[in-house]
């Protein structure tokens, strides 16, 4: 995009053009895939300069790779950060970041609900090495302020929260934390929204992490992660958290596939959001449904905060059925179009049961304490025709309330 660097392009245009100049790659419209583990030097001096950092060129793909570099420039620009680091998985991004920032005796202040593997890494991993993990309700400002102390090094949260869709006010949390100490690093997992819908760095966060497996890739064909922050912090994570601690190195092919996926990110997120909104409005009126958790509903307790910090309400929702866990099993087992699968952000609608799947690393008591009920069902609303999605959930829910033969109020699709 060399000739367009100074043009103020929209997000969708930047997602396509940012970070790549075809003129430096023999006119190739798509970035080349550099399938190499190492790079040859012209001289010993050049090799020495690359190892020392005086020459910014590549020398080993565990550190950097040209395909990876193109992706990192794009992600940094889209998140409005200085630099980015692409990793082998979302957990690679999270673990490499935290291994870099904390040491024994430090405290990480964490929201009360987290993705299951993040929770497991912190509670069953970092705590073994002397890092204190302190949980607080991040929707309550007093709970955050009262748990900050001189040992707090990192404040970490997701928003919207996986899987129960609570929304944390990024700007409010940042103001409280930075009012206590500028040295505390605020990390936000932006996987659910992507920079197409939410940019935490502009709201006071220091670091953004992603599971790029999800919406950034968008097609369910890769595993990857990303970190975005200042150039200094990203370089520390690259050289310590990835190179020395985790080895969470992204492959050039995965970097290429994410670059491909990001080109359609804005378009896909628009469709995900539209479909999720319509499905939520149908589900909230269905006689089999106890409650729907989706910030796009005006009745949702997090609607106002989400309206303030998100450009749209995302493609994820959750629900509780009146028949609880058994009802959830019955509904999932009767779906015909949607797939029972973990992960999210794919073209396909994916449905899963957190208590027995993604959040099974929590004990029953931990799930109860952290707001993950046994009957909670998480839905990643896909890109299928909305009428087909509505039909599928209608027919599956009909097995729970066969006496309800009429179309529920709020159904906006066509009759099947």
How far apart CA 160 and CA 81 sit, in angstroms, is: 20
- Exactly one of 14, 74, 115, 156 is catalytic; which is it? 115
How far apart CA 399 and CA 380 sit, in angstroms, is: 21
How far apart CA 410 and CA 286 sit, in angstroms, is: 9
Other CB atoms within 10 Å distance of the CB of residue 57:
12
Distance of CA 413 to the CA centre of its chain: 29
Burial zone of 195 (CB within 10 Å; 0-12 exposed, 13-18 middle, 19+ buried):
buried
Three-class HEC string of 265-277: HHHHHHHHHHHHH
Cβ atoms 111, 168 nearer than 8 A: yes
How far apart CA 315 and CA 295 sit, in angstroms, is: 10
Q: Which of 149, 139, 157, 159 shows the shortest CA–CA distance to 183?
A: 149
Concerning whether 214 is annotated as a catalytic residue, the answer is yes
Q: Which residues does 13 contact at the CB level (< 8 Å), separation at least 6? A: none
> Is the sign of the CA dihedral 246, 247, 251, 255 positive or negative?
positive
Question: Which is it for strands 376-380 and 316-321: parallel, antiparallel or unpaired?
Answer: antiparallel
- Exactly one of 74, 166, 214, 268 is catalytic; which is it? 214
Supply the DSSP symbol for 29.
S
- Exactly one of 55, 62, 73, 137 is catalytic; which is it? 62
- Exactly one of 189, 206, 346, 392 is catalytic; which is it? 189
> Is the sign of the CA dihedral 280, 315, 324, 416 positive or negative?
positive
Concerning whether 378 is annotated as a catalytic residue, the answer is no
Burial zone of 113 (CB within 10 Å; 0-12 exposed, 13-18 middle, 19+ buried):
buried
Distance of CA 406 to the CA centre of its chain: 38
Concerning whether 336 is annotated as a catalytic residue, the answer is no
Concerning whether 189 is annotated as a catalytic residue, the answer is yes
In sequence order, what DSSP letters do the residues of 190-254 get, joined into one string?
-TTT-TTT--GGGGT-SEEEEETTTTTT-SS----EEEEE-HHHHHHIIIIIIIIII--BPPHHH
Token pair for residue 203?
A: 């709201």
Cβ atoms 294, 280 nearer than 8 A: yes
Instruction: Supply the residues annotated as catalytic.
Output: 62, 115, 189, 214
């Amino acid at each position: 995009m060399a000739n367009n660097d100074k043009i103020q392009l929209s997000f969708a245009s930047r997602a396509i053009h940012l970070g790549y100049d075809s003129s430096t790659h023999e006119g190739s419209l798509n970035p080349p895939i550099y399938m190499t583990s190492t790079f040859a030097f012209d001289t010993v001096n050049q090799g020495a300069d690359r190892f020392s950092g005086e020459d910014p060129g590549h020398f080993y793909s565990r550190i950097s790779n040209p395909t990876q570099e193109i992706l990192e420039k794009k992600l940094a620009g889209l998140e409005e950060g200085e630099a980015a680091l692409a990793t082998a998985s979302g957990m690679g991004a999270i673990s490499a970041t935290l291994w870099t920032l904390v040491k024994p005796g430090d405290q990480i202040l964490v929201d009360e609900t987290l993705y299951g593997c993040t929770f497991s890494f912190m509670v069953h991993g970092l705590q073994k090495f002397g890092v204190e993990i302190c949980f607080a309700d991040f929707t309550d400002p007093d709970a955050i302020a009262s748990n900050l102390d001189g040992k707090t090094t990192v404040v970490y949260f997701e928003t919207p929260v996986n899987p129960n869709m609570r929304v944390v006010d990024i700007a409010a949390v940042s103001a409280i934390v930075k009012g206590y100490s500028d040295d505390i690093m605020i990390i936000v997992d932006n996987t659910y929204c992507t920079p197409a819908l939410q940019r935490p760095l502009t709201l006071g966060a220091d670091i953004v992490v992603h599971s790029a497996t999800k919406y950034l890739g968008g097609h369910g064909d890769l595993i990857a992660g990303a970190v975005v922050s200042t150039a200094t912090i990203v370089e520390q994570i690259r050289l310590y958290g990835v190179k020395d601690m985790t080895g969470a190195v992204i492959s050039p092919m995965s970097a290429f596939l994410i670059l491909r996926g990001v080109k359609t990110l804005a378009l896909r997120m628009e469709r995900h959001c539209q479909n999720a909104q319509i499905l939520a409005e149908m589900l909230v009126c269905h006689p089999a449904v106890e409650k729907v958790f989706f910030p796009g509903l005006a009745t949702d307790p997090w609607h106002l905060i989400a309206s303030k910090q998100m450009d749209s309400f995302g493609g994820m929702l959750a629900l509780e059925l009146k028949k609880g866990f058994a009802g959830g099993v019955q509904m999932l087992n009767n779906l015909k179009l949607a797939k029972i699968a973990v992960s999210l952000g794919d073209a396909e609608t994916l449905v899963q049961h957190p208590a027995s799947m993604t959040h099974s690393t929590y004990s029953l008591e931990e799930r109860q304490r952290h707001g993950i009920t046994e009957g909670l069902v998480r839905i990643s609303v896909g890109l299928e025709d909305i009428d087909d999605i509505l039909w599928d959930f209608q027919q599956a829910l009909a097995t729970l309330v066969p006496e309800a033969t009429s179309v529920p109020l709020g159904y906006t699709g066509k009759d099947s």
